[in-house]
Amino acid sequence: MATYANLENVLNDIEQSTGLPNAHYTDSTLFEEEKHALIFSEWAGLAVASEIPEPGDAKPYEFLGMPILMVRDDDGAVRVFQNICRHRGMILVSEPRRIEGAIRCPYHSWCYSKKGKLVSTPHVGGPGRNVHKSIDRGTLGLVEIRSHVWMDVVWINVSGDAPAFADKHSDLIDRWADFNVPLHHGGNDSRFELGLDTNWKLAIENYCESYHLPWIHPGLNSYSRLEDHYNIELPGLYSGQGSKAYRQLKGGDGEKFADFHGVGEKWREQAEYIAVYPNVMLGVHRDHTFTIILEPVSISKTIEHVHIYYSEANTQEKLRRKNTAQWKEIFIEDIFVVEGMQRGRSADGFDGGRFSPIMDTPTHCFHQWAASSIQSHRSLMNAAE
Amino acid sequence: MSEELNSKILAAHCEKDIHSLIRLYVEASKTTGNHDEECFFLTNAYICALETGSSETKFLHDQLKKYGREI
Ligand code: FES
Ligand SMILES: [Fe+2]
């Protein structure tokens, strides 16, 4: 294996440290390494559960090249499987649809239940003979990927060995206990995608700091001034920023979205924006939340999947559209920055850049998590060789 | 099986009309004098029933099980 720049300096104290070396943004071999070290080993965001609202709804994904099927089973639970048949590895479901009965493989018609059980193997013992002693259905169910739903995000742990989601993220779950209420997806006008010519990590790095607000989002200055912001960091898990000057959106007649039920006094004028490592960016406010799932497509391409949620199912469409438009404008303002930093990573010899010891602590926190996770992955790999 | 039934089955496959396929394959299973062939068509009917969650699933499954062709 090629040797890569050592990451010790990333792990240094913020006053001395530099960011991850260029290759982590430009070299496809490192994209592949980080796929395992930073994404498959963690609880990564795959999609949102609202995309499969009813039992039987099924939606296929390619997540970092891996074919995945998300299904809502008959008991209403979200399940995530490898989207392939245990017979010859055929892709099972190619487009979103409702599974009425069983998931039938389109090749030789082996059938699986929505819970992944192999229920039939037609003609496997010859025409009209559907059993064979070597084909043990009990061991040939779909390969299930560990999943957990929180804040409507379907989090998956591909490696299967991360601590349980509720344990790993207990701090954040407690921090945002006020939002542990039904979140109502605003529907089609409350979801959109943005394609970015950048490495996924730069989207996180930009999201979690407030340092750029005055210059990139001058429109926020009036109600979200830099001095009203504070940094949020929990090493190894998440980082972001909070604002103490949140103002609710108002429609033409002064109408507002209803608050989340029981949301505490704390959130009257407060909002928080947190990047949960590796790839989910969340924002919470008294009257709405949003989720951005980053889909890393390649070393330099990322898709942001944005979803906005409210406290009740029946919100006013006009106001929702206004809110979507406002967030979209802000997220679009960030595009030239994350794409510009990506292009910047082609400058030979760039040292990863320096951090403001005051303003960049959330970004530094992310770099430290990334560097130490990559290091432990490398030492595991070396030990295995 | 008759030409007519055969072409109905092909047409139903073409249109992905799985509900009709259940009925047509059951019909086909009755036209054969050969037990293996009967089970072949019953199996196809069963798979279509399974896929669509049809109420005939249980009956077809029982039938195949009785013949030792399903578990
Ligand atoms: S590959 Fe799925 S049944 Fe053969
Ligand atoms: Fe921004």
> How many domains would you assign to chain B?
1
Q: Quick: pLDDT tens for A257-295.
A: 999 998 988 999 999 999 999 999 999 999 999 999 999
Flag whether residue A141 sits within 8 Å of chain B, measured between CB atoms.
Answer: no
Partner-chain contact A130 B70, CB within 8 Å: yes
Count of beta carbons in the 10 Å neighbourhood of residue A331? 20
Domain that holds residue B38: 3-66
pLDDT band of residue A323 (cuts 50, 70, 90) is: very high
Tell whether B71 is covered by a domain. Answer: no
Q: Quick: pLDDT tens for A131-157.
A: 999 999 999 999 999 999 999 999 999
Secondary structure letter of residue A301 according to DSSP: E
Angle, CA A49 vertex, CA A44 and CA A51 arms, to 5°: 115
Domain boundaries, chain A: 54-145, 169-365
Q: Is the CB of A107 under 6 A from ligand 1?
A: yes
The distance of Cα A193 from the centroid of its chain, to the nearest Å, equals: 13
Instruction: Tell me how far the alpha carbon of residue A372 lies from the centroid of ligand 1, in angstroms.
Output: 41
Which structure tokens are listed for A88? Answer: 């010859």
**Percentage, residues of chain A above pLDDT 70:** 98
Tell whether B48 is covered by a domain. Answer: yes
pLDDT band of residue A1 (cuts 50, 70, 90) is: very low
Span A297-325, average pLDDT: 98
**pTM above the 0.90 mark?**
yes
Q: Which residues of A touch B40 (CB under 8 A)?
A: 123, 127-128
User: Would you say B19 and B35 are in contact if contact means Cβ atoms under 8 Å apart?
Assistant: no
Q: What is the mean pLDDT of chain B?
A: 97
| CATH homologous superfamily, domain A169-365 | Naphthalene 1,2-dioxygenase Alpha Subunit; Chain A, domain 1 (3.90.380.10)
Q: Tell which residue, A369, A344, A307, has the closest CA to residue A199.
A: A344
Instruction: Tell me how far the alpha carbon of residue A24 lies from the centroid of ligand 2, in angstroms.
Output: 22
Residue A282 CA to residue B21 CA, distance in Å, equals 48
pLDDT band of residue A219 (cuts 50, 70, 90) is: confident
User: Would you say A121 and A130 are in contact if contact means Cβ atoms under 8 Å apart?
Assistant: yes
What is the reported pLDDT for A125?
97
Span A168-191, average pLDDT: 97
A78-82 and A66-72: which strand pairing?
Answer: antiparallel
Residue nearest to atom 3 of ligand 1 (CA): A108
User: Would you say A311 and A261 are in contact if contact means Cβ atoms under 8 Å apart?
Assistant: yes
* Answer CATH for A54-145 from 1.20.1290.10, 2.102.10.10, 2.60.40.1150, 1.25.40.10: 2.102.10.10
pLDDT band of residue A224 (cuts 50, 70, 90) is: low
Span B3-21, average pLDDT: 97
Query: Of B40, B51, B57, which has the smallest distance from its Cβ to A128's Cβ?
Result: B40
Q: What share of chain B is helix, strand, coil (3-state, %, to 5)?
A: 75, 0, 25
